[in-house]
Amino acid sequence: MKRVYPNKDFCIGCHICELACLTAHSKSKDLILAYTVERNEEGLSSCKHVHEGGPTCVALSCRHCDEPSCVAACISGALQKDPESGRTIYDREKCVGCWSCLMACPFGAIARHPLENKIVKCDLCHDRPGGPACVAACPNMALKQEERS
Amino acid sequence: MTYVIIGNGVSSIGAIEGIRRHDQKGKIVVIGAEDAAAYGRPLISYLLAGKIGADRLALRGDDYYTKNGVDLKLGTTVTKVDAAKKTVETDKGETIAYDKLLVATGGIPFVPPIPGVQGADIYSFTTLAHANTLIDLSKSIKRAIVIGGGLIGLKAAESLFDRGVAVTIVELAPRILSAGFDEKAGKLAANRLKNVGIEVNCGVTAKEIQRDKNGRVKGVLLTDGRFLESDVVVVAIGVVPHSAIAKEAGIKVERGIIVDAKLMTSAKDVYAAGDVAQAIDQLSGEHRVVPIWPNAYNQGYGAGRNMAGAKLPYAGGLPMNSISFYGLPTISVGVVNPPEGDTTYEVHALLNEEKETYRKLVFRDGRLVGYVLVGDIDKAGMYTAFIKFEMQLDGKAKDKLINAGPEVFLWPAELFDEKWNPEMSKAAR
Ligand SMILES: Cc1cc2nc3c(=O)[nH]c(=O)nc-3n(C[C@H](O)[C@H](O)[C@H](O)COP(=O)(O)OP(=O)(O)OC[C@H]3O[C@@H](n4cnc5c(N)ncnc54)[C@H](O)[C@@H]3O)c2cc1C
Ligand code: SF4
Ligand code: SF4
């Protein structure tokens, strides 16, 4: 499957991917409204997080693992592997907010929703025509979506 | 190829998914004693608490079994395994032949021999049927005593309380959740329960369950001499491996069914997984029964793959628990209570009683081997990485982990590339 691969040698820590993620997952699809209104009122948050270690930066999110620890840990079936697409999919309705996945994922790819007992996790922008918004937005090709085995 | 799976819990789901990774054609038969399709067993406490409806219990979609070509026999109990003839017999009088068999029968509630424990008004809390019974019961009872301050006991107590029942917890150990918590974490959690109105008694246990002349429960006499009135008693001390059919088949059983690196039992082509299995533990390398959900899925998955011929060793289990107490989240992973006086361990603990936060890190030989987080749990997974990938930390990295928290830049560069940017690492070599 095509996954998003981060390159820490190219990342300049500009956080544009986070903003693109925020916008892509907003209702308004408008950066300013997403950031000023939806983020504050609805707890809209980015699935992508830029990690900074001194001069080095890298933007990370769910790897859509082949054998995901989060799926093994999920007590409700909200997290499952989609056999067709290979994505690790999340069903918000089923989730009970037990944080088992957050504990089990060794990639720190799961965050608590700021307002509700739900999680926030990358969905690979599966219904976005142009593919993942973060990849499209990165000005320095530090994020690549491609097939590697 | 016919795969037969005994039990329809999460290890069985793991096994179906593991088998189907390698074999799309073989026939899978799942035989489950309970009436429902596999459900989130831990969700029974959410159901009892009234937080979710019965429609949210199923672990997979309606078409899951059909899609995966599974012949599902519910409400059916396997009564005998014949490992020589490679057949199982059911209580419905059927004999089913297998090429590969998985025993995923889970655990059964442990009921200690307390005087008065046999008879009416004593309940367990491990199945959907138990939850439904307690939901009905909660309408007519006023007081309940829960024996056991472990995960299941606390969940039973909390959800009965949410149904309007006055609840008292009785725990023999000096603190609740004694396996995954230390004193400080236990106290923070116990305070949360006490503040909402659940009574928590640690360091005592039931000496006798007293009954009236009709045989109904009156209350419980404690080891410290107190008598607590109660309408019912929920015995929730934990579960023991449900291994009887394996034992009777001559399969090697210690505390649980012994399995090898590929999760096969002492009988050829018979595998075991989940709460019934005594499988390898990643950190200690010992075979242990660790009855937790992620291990059950992973062992089922690993067994399924090997049953389908993958020849892949099981990576080993890691004890982990995530449990919230009325909005106070807690997580514990790995070794959290190192043996007292063992100086090979190094512990760093940070408590803030006012903010109700606690963090404990346990190191051994330059590696993180366990942690507890209370309140602020957001970085849990990043801590888990250091344990799971057994990262060796030099002094500086360890100090950073302790002082600034876990960060992906503390990972060895090769591990980072392997996990996050796989092709890069090949090119670099
Ligand atoms: C209230 C509660 C809360 C929990 N919360 C958590 C939690 O938050 N986190 C966590 O990690 N763990 C939790 N657990 C533990 C977790 O649910 C178990 O570790 C897990 O369910 C084990 O899965 P399993 O498939 O091995 O066995 P089970 O889920 O026990 O399934 C085994 C199935 O096999 C059936 N069976 C047994 N014998 C036969 C037979 N002879 N023939 C046919 N069928 C048979 C049983 O009826 C059962 O349906 C909780 C448990 C309970 C009870
Ligand atoms: S959440 Fe974590 S464990 Fe699950 S698929 Fe994503 S990276 Fe893997
Ligand atoms: S928080 Fe939600 S998605 Fe995560 S393990 Fe719990 S139920 Fe599953």
Interface of B with A in 59-88 (CB under 8 A): 59-60
Give the CA distances from residue B154 to residues B33, B67, B224, in Å, rounded to whole numbers and listed in that order.
26, 37, 21
Other CB atoms closer than 10 Å to residue B268's CB: what's the count?
A: 10
Residues B400, B385: contact at Cβ < 8 Å? no
Q: Which tokens sit at B382?
A: 């990043």
Helix (H) or strand (E) holding A41: helix A39-42
Q: Which has the closest alpha carbon to B419: A148, A72, A110?
A: A148
**Pairs of CB atoms within 8 A across A/B:** 120
Q: Name residues whose C-beta falls within 8 Å of residue B166's C-beta, 6 or more positions apart in sequence.
A: B142, B143, B144, B197
Read off the pLDDT of each residue in A122-126 and give the average, rounded to a whole number.
97
Residues A126, A133: contact at Cβ < 8 Å? no
Residues A92, B370: contact at Cβ < 8 Å? no
Q: Does B349 touch chain A (CB under 8 A)?
A: no
Supply the pLDDT for residue B424: 57
Is B380 in contact with A63 (Cβ distance < 8 A)? no
Domains of chain B, residue spans: 2-108+240-307, 122-237, 327-428
State chain A's mean pLDDT as an integer: 96
Phi and psi based region of residue B234 (left: phi greater than 0; alpha: psi -120 to 50; beta: remaining): beta
Residue A82 pLDDT exceeds 90: yes
Alpha-carbon gap: B326 to the closest alpha carbon of chain A (Å): 12
Phi and psi based region of residue A141 (left: phi greater than 0; alpha: psi -120 to 50; beta: remaining): left
Q: Which has the closest alpha carbon to A59: A14, A112, A110?
A: A14
Fold of A64-121: Alpha-Beta Plaits (3.30.70)
For residue A10, what pLDDT band results from cuts at 50, 70 and 90? very high
Alpha-carbon gap: A89 to the closest alpha carbon of chain B (Å): 12
User: For B327-428, CATH number?
Assistant: 3.30.390.30
pLDDT tens digit sequence for A30-76: 999 999 999 999 999 999 999 998 899 999 999 999 999 999 999 99
Report the CATH architecture of B122-237: 3-Layer(bba) Sandwich (3.50)
Q: Which has the closest alpha carbon to A79: A67, A63, A95, A98?
A: A95
Is B409 in contact with A102 (Cβ distance < 8 A)? no
d(CA B132, CA B54): 10
Its sign, for the CA torsion A27, A33, A37, A43, is positive
Query: For the complex shown, is ipTM > 0.95?
Result: yes
Residues A112, B54: contact at Cβ < 8 Å? no
d(CA B402, CA B400): 5
d(CA B321, CA B417): 29
d(CA B177, CA B382): 23
User: At B332, phi and psi to the nearest 5?
Assistant: -135, 135
Mutate to test the pocket of ligand 2, among A64, A79, A95 (most ligand atoms within 8 A of CB): A64
| pTM given for the model | 0.97
Q: Which residues pair with A125 in a beta bridge?
A: none
Q: Does B154 touch chain A (CB under 8 A)?
A: no
Is A72 in contact with B46 (Cβ distance < 8 A)? no
Buried b (16+ CB within 10 A) or exposed e, B181-206: bbebbbbbbbebbeeeebbbbbeebb
For residue A36, give the DSSP letter.
Answer: I
d(CA B176, CA B190): 7
User: At B86, phi and psi to the nearest 5?
Assistant: 60, 55
Tell me the CATH number of domain B2-108+240-307, given options 3.30.450.20, 3.40.50.1110, 3.50.50.60, 3.30.300.30: 3.50.50.60
Question: Helix, strand or coil for residue A79?
Answer: strand
Mutate to test the pocket of ligand 2, among A121, A122, A124, A126 (most ligand atoms within 8 A of CB): A121
d(CA A29, CA A42): 14
- 3-state secondary structure labels for all residues of chain B: CEEEEECCCHHHHHHHHHHHHHCCCCEEEEECCCCCCCECCCHHHHHHCCCCCHHHCECCCCCHHHHCCEEEECCCCEEEEECCCCEEEECCCCEEECCEEEECCCEEECCCCCCCCCCCCEECCCCHHHHHHHHHHHCCCCEEEEECCCHHHHHHHHHHHHCCCEEEEEECCCCCCCCCCCHHHHHHHHHHHHHHCCEEEECCCEEEEEECCCCCEEEEEECCCCEEECCEEEECCCEEECCHHHHHCCCCECCCEECCCCCECCCCCEEECHHHEEEEECCCCCEECCCCHHHHHHHHHHHHHHHCCCCCCCCCECCEEEEEECCEEEEEEECCCCCCCCCCEEEEEEEECCCCEEEEEEEECCEEEEEEEECCCCCHHHHHHHHHCCCCCCHHHHHHHHHHCCCHHHCCHHHHHHHHCHHHHHHHC
Chain B residues whose CB is inside 8 A of the A88 CB are: none
Distance B421 CA to ligand 2 centre (A): 15
Q: Which has the closest alpha carbon to B267: B240, B287, B285, B245?
A: B245
Residues of chain B with pLDDT under 50: 428-429
Place of tokens 């590969």: B100
Alpha-carbon gap: A33 to the closest alpha carbon of chain B (Å): 26
Is B409 in contact with A53 (Cβ distance < 8 A)? yes
Pocket of ligand 2 (CB under 6 A): A 62-65, 68-70, 88, 105, 107, 109-110, 121
Residues A143, A48: contact at Cβ < 8 Å? no
Domains of chain A, residue spans: 1-61+128-143, 64-121
Q: Which atom of ligand 3 is nearest to the CA of B40?
A: 7
Domains B2-108+240-307 and B122-237 share a fold: yes
d(CA A129, CA A113): 26
